[in-house]
Amino acid sequence: MKPCPCCSGKLFSSCCSQFLAGKAVPKTVKQLMRSRYAAFALGGYGDYLLNTWHPDTAPAVTAADLGSVDSNWSGLEILSSTQQGDHGTVDFCARFLDEHGQVQTHRENSQFVRIKGRWYYLEPLSLNDETAGSAA
């Protein structure tokens, strides 16, 4: 029994595994954020990452490229989240080890949208959007 790489404190088998295996869809923006982090951390889940990325903002890469492990991810902290109707945000800090073994961080406030009951990663919010509140 291994812990989930998303740092939820749950076992992988009862957390992000169900989403990555296509047995369930995330019901909240936090679940989607955590499962996408797990997909990046574990590697090999490029299809899941592309399928949960809004088509208007998804990168022009293959699932194989997206699923390759290019960083040694070492932790995720959800700082805050909002979910109102079909829109949501997750402010997070992800830690990874650089090529010298030094801990680095990736901080982002991600925007999500729900279409036909499914959440999709849209894009990071700009500083102007972050200070504007949830008027969108």
CATH of the domain at 121: 3.10.450.50
Sheet of 87-97, strand order: 72-84, 87-97, 103-115, 118-124
Q: Global pTM? A: 0.88
Distance CA 78, CA 94 (A): 9
Cβ atoms of residues 52 and 36 within 8 Å: yes
Residue 115 within any structural domain of the chain? yes
Assign 126 a pLDDT band (cuts: 50, 70, 90): low
Where do we find the tokens 């989403």?
Answer: 19
Residue 106 within any structural domain of the chain? yes
What tens digit of pLDDT does each residue of 40-66 get?
999 999 999 999 999 999 888 889 888
Average pLDDT of the residues in 2-26: 96
Domain that holds residue 64: 12-131
Tokens at residue 90, please?
Answer: 């997750």
Q: What is the tally of structural domains in the chain?
A: 1
